A and B are shown apart, each in its own frame.
Chain A
Amino acid sequence: MSELLRIQNLSKAFGRREVLRDFNLAIESGRVYGLLGRNGEGKTTLARILMGVIPADGGSVLYRSRPIAFGDSSYKREFGYVPEDPFFYEDMTVRGLLAFNARFYPKWDRKRAASDLERFSLDPKSRIRTLSRGMKLKLGLAVALAASPEFLILDDPTSGLDVPTRQDFLRDVIRELAASGTTILFATHLVHELERIVERLLVLCGGRLILDDDFDKVKAQHQASLEDIFVRLTAGA
Chain B
Amino acid sequence: MFTALYLKEWREKALVFFFELGILGLLLAAPFALRGKTDLQEWLVYAILLLFFPFAALILGASGFEAEFREGAWAYLFSRPIGRPAIWLAKLSALLSMFAALWLVFLIAWAALPAVRQITSGPRVLLAPIAPLTWSGFPWWSLGQSLFLLMVAFSLSLLHERHFSILFVALILGLFFPAAAWSLIISKTGGFMAWLAPAKAFRTLLISQVLMALAFAGASLRTLVRSDFSQPRKQVRTFVGSFTVFVVLAAAGTVGSALFIPVPAERHLDFMGSSDGKAVYATERGLFSYNSASGRVRWLTRRRSVIYWFSSIANGRLAYTVQNFESRRDATEEIWLSNTEGTGRKRLIGRATPGAWPPDDSVQGLTISPDGRTIAVLTRNAARQGKSRPSATTTLWTINSDGSDLEKRSLEALFPDGPEENLWVAFVAWAREGKVLIILKRHSIRPVHWSLWAYDLERKTASKVRDSAVPASPWRRGNSTPRDLLVIQNRYRDEGPRTLALLNLVTGEETEIAGSEEPHSFSAQWDPTGEKLLFFDKRPDPEGRASYFLTVYSLTAGKAVAERITTDLDGIVHHYWTAWMPDGRSVLTLDIKGRCLRILGTDLQNTGRIDLPVRIKEPSGLEVVGDTVLLQDSGIHSLWRLDLGKMRWKRLY
Contact = CB atoms under 8 A, between A and B. Distances in A.
Contacts of A75: 81
Interface residues of A, number: 31
Contacts of A87: 71-73, 75-76
Shortest Cβ-Cβ A-B pairs, 5 listed: A76-B81, A87-B72, A103-B4, A51-B79, A77-B81
Given A101-B80, A104-B4, A104-B81, A83 B226 contact: no
A85 B72 contact: yes
Interface string B65-90: 00100111111101111111000000
Given A87-B73, A88-B71, A88-B76, A54 B81 contact: no
Contacts of A100: 4, 8
B229 interface: yes
Interface of A: 14-15, 48, 51-55, 70-71, 73-77, 79, 81, 83, 85, 87-92, 96, 100-101, 103-105
A157 to B, nearest CB: 14
Contact of B82 (A15, A73, A79, A85): A73
Contact of A54 (B8, B76, B228): B228
A71 B228 contact: no
B76 A83 contact: yes
B78 A51 contact: yes
Nearest to B68: A89
Q: How large is the interface on B (under 10, 10 to 19, 20 to 34, 35 or more residues)?
A: 20 to 34
A104 B86 CA distance: 12
Contacts, number: 78
A106 to B, nearest CB: 9
Contacts of A85: 72, 75
A103 B1 contact: yes
Contacts of A105: 81
B556 interface: no
Given A14-B231, A101-B80, A104-B80, A55 B226 contact: yes
A159 B16 CA distance: 37
A92 B78 CA distance: 17
A48 B73 contact: no
Contact of B79 (A15, A52, A55, A74): A52
Contacts of A71: 83-84, 225
B71 A90 contact: yes
B79 A53 contact: yes
B385 interface: no
B3 A103 contact: yes
B12 A91 contact: yes
B230 interface: yes
Nearest to A87: B72
Interface of B: 1, 3-4, 8, 11-12, 67, 70-76, 78-84, 225-231
B226 A104 contact: no
B238 to A, nearest CB: 11
A91 B11 CA distance: 9
Nearest to B15: A91
A101 B83 CA distance: 14
A154 B72 CA distance: 18
B93 to A, nearest CB: 16
A89 B82 contact: no
Nearest to A76: B81
Given A53-B230, A76-B80, 4 more contacts: A51-B79, A53-B78, A89-B76, A103-B1
A209 B513 CA distance: 110
Contacts of A91: 11-12, 67
A83 B228 contact: no
A92 B4 CA distance: 13
Contacts of A70: 226
Nearest to A57: B228
Given A71-B83, A91-B12, A100-B4, A83 B75 contact: yes
Given A14-B230, A55-B226, A91-B12, A48 B81 contact: no
A88 B73 contact: yes
Looking at B76, B78, B226, the one whose CB has the most chain A CB atoms below 10 A away is B76
B85 to A, nearest CB: 8
Contacts of B82: 73, 104
Nearest to A86: B76
A100 B79 CA distance: 13
B81 A89 contact: no
A105 B79 CA distance: 12
A52 B82 CA distance: 10
Nearest to A80: B79
Given A54-B230, A103-B4, A104-B1, A89 B12 contact: yes
A54 B79 contact: no
A87 B69 CA distance: 10
